[in-house]
Amino acid sequence: MFEIRMPKMGDGMTEGTLRRWLKQVGDAVKVEEPIAEIQTDKADVEMPAEDAGFIVQIVAAEGETVAVGAVIAYLGATPDEKPAPASAPAPVAVREEEKGRRGEGEKGRGGVTAAPSAGGRIKSSPLARKKAGELGVDISTVAGTGGGVGRVVARDVEAAVASRTAAPVTAPSAPAPQSSRAGELPPGRDESLSRMRKAIARRTTESKQTIPHFYLVMPIDMDAALDLLVSLNAQWQGEKVTVNDLVIKACVMALNRHPGVNCAVVDDDTVRFFDSINVGIAVGTDDGLRIPILLDCGRKTLRQISQAARAMAVKTRNGELTPQDMSSGTFTVSNLGMFGIEEFSAIISPPQSAILAVGAAAPEVTVGPDGSFVARRRMRVTLSCDHRTVDGVLGSKFLQEIKGLLESPLNLLA
Amino acid sequence: MALMRYAEALRLAMAEEMERDPSVFICGEEVGQYQGTFRVTEGLMQRFGRDRVVDTPISEIGIAGMATGAAMAGLRPIAEFMTWSFALSAMDQIVNHAAKITYMSGGRIQCPVVFRGPAGTGNQLSAQHSQSLEAWFMHVPGLKVAMPATAADAKGLLKYAIRDPNPVIFMEHAGLYAQRGEVPEDPDFVIPFGKAAVVREGADVTLVAYSHMVSTCLKAAVSLHDMGISAEVIDLRTLTPLDMETVLASVAKTHRVVVTQEEWLNVGAAAEIAARIGELGFDDLDAPVLRVGGADVPMPYAKKLESSAIPNEQDVIAAALRVTD
């Protein structure tokens, strides 16, 4: 008897919705054969079977949202093998019966209640708190069974992760939806948020609440870069290079020069400098924001970056992005120049340390070298920085690097 | 290896060190002609002569003062107290002189004295003879404190104590004197201070012990095993220096710990060990650190009252069950 569990299909995935079962009870399943369609925050994906056998019980109904790691079905060796009852961590369950003392913790499964003390403080052991931090579990959602006083101990956190009956919460979640203000608002049509909108709400709220943002704006003279673009596109038949490709290439070269920007806060004591440069491109679609990632850009040429970006654009348009396509970003570029936006500031995509917001390249009158007025195409970029890892000086040097590269764009071809 | 009693192992340690180093001598009440109240020094005066096994008047302050002075003058005395309860009248010599002279002389005067004798509780010896006072000595900088739990450790630790250039408080347990164990006969076998022994490995709870409580904890561990709880037992061997590294490594593995001692719980050795676990191993703890110790009363003479005042296997099991619940 195998348990089939909700797989983790990308960074930050904590739960998934079972859109459709592709196999029913009694069906034979081969290894790697798709058995269900799972909808995550980011995409719809087919879930392959890890073991061969027969589906003997389906636990998660279509449309149901369950936590990563929760059992969604059972696979038997024969079509009529009896499914197991609940899957509880065996050793703990045995001891619970032995001592007949942890009944309340057991009851808590499925709708788990925390065990606050009189003062409202949740009793938990130091080890349980450490584990909860490491595993991204909100300790207030875990039922405590320890010490005869309902203290949350390490085994409770592990059980919560294993069964995921307690929904894990990473970092602060969007606070608004919890307290409904339906009654206070003027009348209107209520529509439930899509999973993607919920994910955007959660991620941006988390970012703004936990990352101390500051912003640096840099004007860039784009005349030379735009001229280069015209000649490149004339030569590279059928491979349209965009302004954004030039910006991404400039960012990659600047990140190579200033690796301090290509990092993330690990915890209060640690920052991780990433080995590779994985640039996310924020892409608005009709049903929300997607950020496909161009992996390992550090050694890619402009042409390779342009090709990779084009491939991701096609996948995004066709709704074919997989969770892997949107995982492991280390830096993000967001461009609203095509809408005529002159400049804007973007919200950092956690756990990254910075995001570059790119405005339109538009003609502006400026003072030329001889004191005369001349029209030049100017573009403004805004770097949003996590002040825990990137200071003003580092951010400014990083932007100077980008400016220098785009104003002398032949360097981008080096 | 030879099978011998704890008391014999102590005697062997002293005899070997006296052979090895002519500056080692023994002094105390009834250590010579009477061959020791607990027969620890049996035969030693006959073997080494009256100059090296010295019977003293009944004056603990005199014994401690003479031994301290002899150590300062370059000898290596082993001063025996008939029991550690009697050492209380020698506290000034031990605490204010032996423990401090090296410091106060800027290191020019060493004081390699060993104060040894039976400690611990039991045997209906009543309030003035049945008590465990190791925390008093742990409290004082400049003293080392050893409390062996086995015959082999009794030999290895006492030999180390005699060779150590500092004053050592060597507390034997009267209840262990007759216990037998395998003891290395190698005259160079010594056990350095500050290295605890993991005497039983386990995964669920750490029982920290020393002296007689080691065997109590080992018995408790067997019962706990039958209840499905795997207990690790640590024998600290010495309280100063205290091997927290071994304790913390164990706590990092089991996440639950019970510290045991025979002495009263108030400000005892277990309190110090528990505090250090809290300071250094906080994030590894999955339950409060519990202590097991003696009842907070002068030791009763009546047998039943006495046995309820001394911590036993059941007390250790109860504490282990509480932290693993």
Per the structure block, which two tokens stand in for A221? 């003279």
Distance, C-alpha A205 to centroid of its chain = 13
Q: What are the residues whose beta carbons fall under 8 Å from the beta carbon of A321, sequence distance 6 or more?
A: A42, A43, A290, A292, A312, A315
Q: Coil, strand, or helix at residue B80? A: strand
Could you tell me the pLDDT band of residue A84, with boundaries at 50, 70 and 90? low
For A120, residues 6+ apart whose C-beta sits below 8 A from its C-beta are none
- Average pLDDT over chain B reads 96
Same domain membership, residue A71 and residue A41: yes
Nearest-CA distance A174 → chain B (Å): 29
Q: DSSP 3-state assignment of A215?
A: strand
What is the nearest CA distance from A104 to chain B, expressed in angstroms?
Answer: 14
How far A107 CA lies from chain B's nearest CA (Å)? 18
pLDDT over threshold 60, residue B240: yes
Predicted confidence band of residue A83 (pLDDT cuts 50, 70, 90): low
In the chain, the amino acid numbered A82 is: K
Which of A320, A344, A322, A324 lies closest to A334, judged by CA?
A344
Domain that holds residue A61: 2-76
A385 and A280 belong to one structural domain: yes
- A339 in the same domain as A203: yes
In this predicted structure, the answer to whether residue B120 has a pLDDT above a threshold of 90 is yes
Sort out which chain B residues have CB atoms less than 8 A from A152's CB and list them.
Answer: none
Domain assignment present for A358 = yes
Residues 261-320 of B with CB under 8 A from A: 282-288
Q: By C-alpha distance, which of A213, A206, A180 is closest to A14?
A: A206
Residue A166: predicted pLDDT: 38
Please state the domain count of chain A.
Answer: 3
Say whether both A110 and A234 belong to one domain: no
What are the residue ranges spanned by the domains of chain B? 2-183, 197-324
Is there a contact between B283 and A99 if contact means CB atoms under 8 Å apart?
no
Q: Are A156 and A52 within one domain?
A: no
Contact A125 B287 (CB under 8 A): yes
CATH of the domain at A150: 4.10.320.10
Per CB-CB distance under 8 Å, the chain B contacts of A154 are 255, 286
Residue B297 identity? V
CA neighbours closer than 13 Å in the CB half-sphere of residue A189? 1
Residue at A105 is within a domain? yes
Residue A161 has pLDDT above 80, yes or no: yes
Let me know if residue A267 belongs to a domain: yes
Q: Is the pLDDT of residue A36 over 80?
A: yes
pLDDT of amino acid A120:
61
Nearest CA in chain A to B279: A126
Which residues between 56 and 95 in chain A have a beta carbon less than 8 angstroms from any beta carbon of chain B? 95
Buried b or exposed e, range A210-232, using 16+ CB within 10 angstroms = ebebeebebbbbbbebbebbeeb
Nearest-angstrom CA–CA distance, A368 and A25 = 76
Question: Are both A284 and A149 inside the same structural domain?
Answer: no
- Rounded CA separation A264/A270 (Å): 9
Residue A276 located in a structural domain: yes
pLDDT(A2) > 80: no
> Rounded to an integer, what distance in angstroms lies between the CA atom of residue A149 and that of residue A115?
9
Within 8 A of B255 by CB-CB distance, chain A residues are 125, 127, 154
**A246-259, pLDDT tens digit by residue?**
999 999 999 999 99
Same fold yes or no, B2-183 and B197-324: yes
Q: How far does the CA of residue B231 sit from the closest CA of chain A (Å)? A: 16
Say what percent of chain A tops pLDDT 90: 41
One domain for residues A384 and A345: yes
* CATH number of the domain where residue A221 is located: 3.30.559.10
Query: What average pLDDT is seen over chain A?
Result: 83
Confirm if B324 and B287 have CB atoms less than 8 A apart. yes
User: Residue A282 pairs with which residues in a beta bridge?
Assistant: A334
In this structure, of A174-188, B107-121, B231-245, B262-276, the range with the lowest mean pLDDT score is A174-188
Can you say how many angstroms the Cα of residue B118 is from the centroid of all Cα atoms in its chain? 9
Residue A96: the pLDDT is 36
What span, in angstroms and rounded, lies between the C-alpha atoms of A152 and A160? Answer: 11
Q: From chain A, pick out residues whose CB is under 8 angstroms from the CB of B285.
A: 125-127
Contact criterion met (CB < 8 Å) for B325 and A147: yes
Written out in words, the top-level CATH class of the domain with range B197-324 is alpha beta
Per-residue pLDDT of A296-333, as tens digits, reads 999 999 999 999 999 999 888 888 888 788 888 999 99
> Are residues A52 and A111 both part of a single domain?
no
- Cβ of A148 within 8 Å of Cβ of B288? The answer is no
Q: Average pLDDT of B279-293?
A: 95
Using CB atoms, pick whichever of A98, A99, A127 lies closest to residue B255: A127
Q: What are the pLDDT digits (tens) for B173-217? A: 999 999 999 999 999 999 999 999 999 999 999 999 999 999 999
Structural domain ending residue among the three candidates A22, A50, A76: A76
State whether ipTM is beyond 0.90.
no
Distance CA B41, CA B84 (A): 16
Whether residue A7 sits in one domain with residue A53: yes
Identify the CATH homologous superfamily for domain B2-183: Thiamin diphosphate (ThDP)-binding fold, Pyr/PP domains (3.40.50.970)
> Which A-chain residues 168-187 have CB contacts (< 8 A) with chain B?
none
Q: Return phi, psi of residue A202, to 5°.
A: -65, -45
What tokens were used for B233? 């037992």
